[in-house]
Structure 1
Amino acid sequence: MTVPGDGAERSSTIVSAGEALVDLVPVEQRPAGTSGATGGALTPLAPRLGGGPYNVAVGLGRLEVPTAMLTRLSTDAFGDALLERLADSHVHTDLVQRGEEPTTLAVVTLDEAGHARYSFHVEGTADRLVADPGEPPMAALAVGTLSLLLEPGASMYTGLARRAAAAGTFVSLDPNIRPALVGDAAAVRDRLDAIAAVAGLVKLSDEDAAWWGREPEDLLAAGAGAVVVTRGAEGLRAFTTTGVVEVPADTSRPVVDTIGAGDSVHAALLAHLHDHDRLGRAAVTAMTGDDWRAALEFAARVAGWTCSRAGAEPPTRAELAHPAEQ
């Protein structure tokens, strides 16, 4: 396919680059007003496969967009399961590296509204030791989350994103900041600034923007093609060079939890851009308000589906097309 905005022939694949991990999620939610443990008994936890970039890859694959995952997986049972789910979701795995280091674990707690909070076990884990893949052919590169916080992988992913952008590849950034894992905050902000300045799309939450200290207008002025802000139940807002577009959250399905909601928005936005031949900075900056409204409504719908199921389980294209049959 031709990547809009640069005229070069490239692979149509979107590469999602970053961590793949296991979320340990409560089996059942405690009643409102109670803590996670009652009478000394701990809430049972079940393993669910996740990680921001991993969820984006799975989301794109299920939306039938050509997708590859760049990461390093453990050779343990969790790593095997992560690899198998990628294949089952139609994600190419030729860029996946393997190592004997353990899999990163994230312990999840849910409040009474189903909102997730995380604590991480990341020391010496496989995904942060990913090696530079060189220059893989791709139409777009999506980066973010823990992979931009933890060295040595963080520097590799930052360098890859900047090289990709310099070569005319569309770059998308989702900071998805986990403050508990931030060591040198100034270094992390500098890393995010460097990627955002060359990114065609920056997707972030209200919380990300507050921690980063960057308003959407600041990111646009620094060079980002467009900025999409997720605002939970208040919906989505796109900041572009021509104005601001806002859509409400999709409330057509009941919320089970919000795990992977932001990742589903990121995947859906990339899928929409892919479907409409807009995976390029020039194409994104040329989008009209109606174009952005359609993209945001699609992203809100996909996120609504994900929130209606336990864990990060984004919908397939068939589910979106035939919701009454699901």
Structure 2
Amino acid sequence: MILICGEALVDLVPGEARGGELAPLHPRLGGGPYNVAIALGRLATPVGMFTRLSRDRFGVELLKRLHEAGADTTEVQVGTEPTTLAVVELDERGSARYGFHTEGTAAPLVADPGDLPPEVEALSFGTLAMVLEPGASVHERVLFRESERGRFTALDPNIRADLIEDPDAYRRRFLSWLPAVDLLKLSVEDAAWLAGSESAVESPELFEALRDWLGRGPAAVVLTRGADGMAVLTADGGIVEVAAAATSVVDTIGAGDTIQAALLCWLRSAGALSAAAVRGLSAADWTAALNFAAAAAGVTVSRQGAEPPYASEL
């Protein structure tokens, strides 16, 4: 089982504005790690989630959807705090920006789960869970502990810069995680922000930063490029690139999360949930893995909200 560690929240997604009024906001169940868990379940991969939910209506629906996706909820904690919310803004290309309401909500108040069950093969971390305290320190502790115990770990920082009060401190913390990370996945925009670049574009300096991060621990670094596809930097210094899937984009909500899930699904199916196995993957292997992830993300962006595909759709 792959255990997804991080927040579950509700995205408030704008509908169509009419008569000069503000567009209505429609609640959609989400959160980066939550989307990864749902996607893995839909891809028929054994998955569980470590998070904290509210007892409110949103929390009940979040838990229900995990069950519908076939996710194990043994490590889901429940409290009386309200559900964390994200207000979504979409630009003309369907790209999403988020405004978060987190103070006093359930997600950041997650407690250390202690020893995990033996069926946990791998863990995936990312997004707000690595930022909002006190939960960020809990997730950091679990990352270090489970990596030390030999479990495969994946990280998608999924940067939400508006919530990071001290960017330099976060960047130092990010570097401290890398020796405990086996697979690092991040977007061009996230990589540029983490590298301290003022421009979210690929450059020699950006790839120098990626190679530096690769050398600090991960067995591979996957870089997502939106409509330009994705690439992986491998342990032997190689780069494998694939194009994005041809599709009509409705919005990009959950696209990166679907890629993370699809990569983990592919690695598990290939028997490659270990750092040594990832380092041993060939260029052909990576092409297959990235194309599978691109196809999955292509389905997600073709429909509204974070609605990842089922295995039968791929």
Q: Which residue, out of 118, 135, 148, partners 1:166?
A: 148
Residue identity matched to 1:112: E
Write out per-residue CA displacement over residues 117-175 of structure 1, whole angstroms, 9 at most, x where no aligned residue: 11010001101000000121310000000011100000110110011111100000000
**Counterpart-to-counterpart distance in 1, 2:31 and 2:264:** 17
Partner Cα separation in structure 1 for residue 242 and residue 84 of structure 2: 35
- Structure-2-length-normalised TM-score: 0.93
- Aligned AA for 2:265? A
Q: State the distance in 1 between where 2:51 and 2:91 align.
A: 31
Which residue in 1 is equivalent to 2:284? Answer: 290
The equivalent residue for 1:10 is none
What is the SS of the residue equivalent to 1:42? coil
Which residue pairs with 2:297 in the alignment?
303
The answer to whether the aligner puts 1:110 opposite 2:90 as a matched pair is yes
Match of 1:126 in 2: 106
Using the alignment, how far apart are the partners of 2:176 and 2:153 within structure 1? Answer: 12
Cα distance in 2 for residues equivalent to 1:148 and 1:209? 16
Aligned residues of 1:206 and 1:231 also touching (Cα < 8 A)? yes
Alpha-carbon distance, 1:38 to partner: 7.8
Structure 1 residue identity aligned to 2:85: L
Question: Is 1:17 the counterpart of 2:12 in the alignment?
Answer: no
Are residue 257 (structure 1) and residue 251 (structure 2) matched? yes
* 1:148 and 1:188 in contact (8 A); partners too: no
Alpha-carbon deviation of 1:100? 0.5
TM-superposed CA distance for 1:194, in Å, is 2.1
- How high is the TM-score relative to the length of structure 1? 0.90
C-alpha separation between the residues in 2 aligned to 1:259 and 1:38?
27
Q: Which residue of 2 aligns with 1:34?
A: none
- SS state of the match for residue 197, structure 1? helix
Q: 1:202·1:227 contact (CA, 8 Å) conserved in 2?
A: yes
Alignment of 1:32-111 (within 5 A): 39=20, 41-111=21-91
Q: What is the deviation of 1:183?
A: 1.3
Q: Is the 8 A contact 1:202 1:226 kept in 2?
A: yes
Any idea what SS the aligned residue of 1:273 has? helix
1:276 to 255, 262, 270: 270
For residue 307 of structure 1, what is the amino acid of its counterpart? Answer: V
Which residue number corresponds to residue 200 of structure 2? Answer: none
Q: Which ranges of 4 or more aligned residues in structure 1 deviate by more than 4 Å?
A: none
What RMSD in Å do the two structures reach over aligned CA positions?
Answer: 1.2
Distance 1:171 1:101 in 2: 29
Partner Cα separation in structure 2 for residue 228 and residue 22 of structure 1: 27
The alpha carbon displacement at 1:221 in A equals: 1.1
Aligned to 1:4: none
- Post-superposition CA distance 1:71-111 (Å, at most 9, x none): 00000000000000000001111100000101110000111
Is 1:173–1:195's contact at 8 Å kept on the other side of the alignment?
A: no
The answer on whether the counterparts of 1:73 and 1:98 sit within 8 Å (CA) in structure 2 is yes
What secondary structure is seen at the aligned counterpart in 2 of 1:224? coil
Name which of 215, 223, 232 aligns with 1:221.
215
Deviations 1:33-77 (A, max 9, x none): xxxx984x2111100000000000000000011100000000000
Once residues 171 and 38 of structure 1 are traced to their aligned partners in structure 2, the CA distance between those partners, rounded to angstroms, is 50
Cross-structure match for 2:198: none
Query: Which whole-Å CA distance do the structure 2 matches of 1:196 and 1:208 have between them?
Result: 15
C-alpha separation between the residues in 2 aligned to 1:105 and 1:182?
17
Alignment of 1:246 with 2:241, yes or no, is: yes
Tell me, what secondary structure is at the counterpart of 1:48?
strand
Letter in 1 for 2:307: E
In structure 1, list runs of 5 or more residues that go unmatched: 1-12, 31-36, 321-326
User: Would you say how many aligned residue pairs link Structure 1 and Structure 2?
Assistant: 299
Task: Quote the Cα distance in structure 2 between the aligned partners of 1:162 and 1:38.
Answer: 53
| Alpha-carbon distance between aligned partners in 1 of 2:141 and 2:167, rounded to the nearest angstrom | 19
Distance 1:165 1:287 in 2: 21
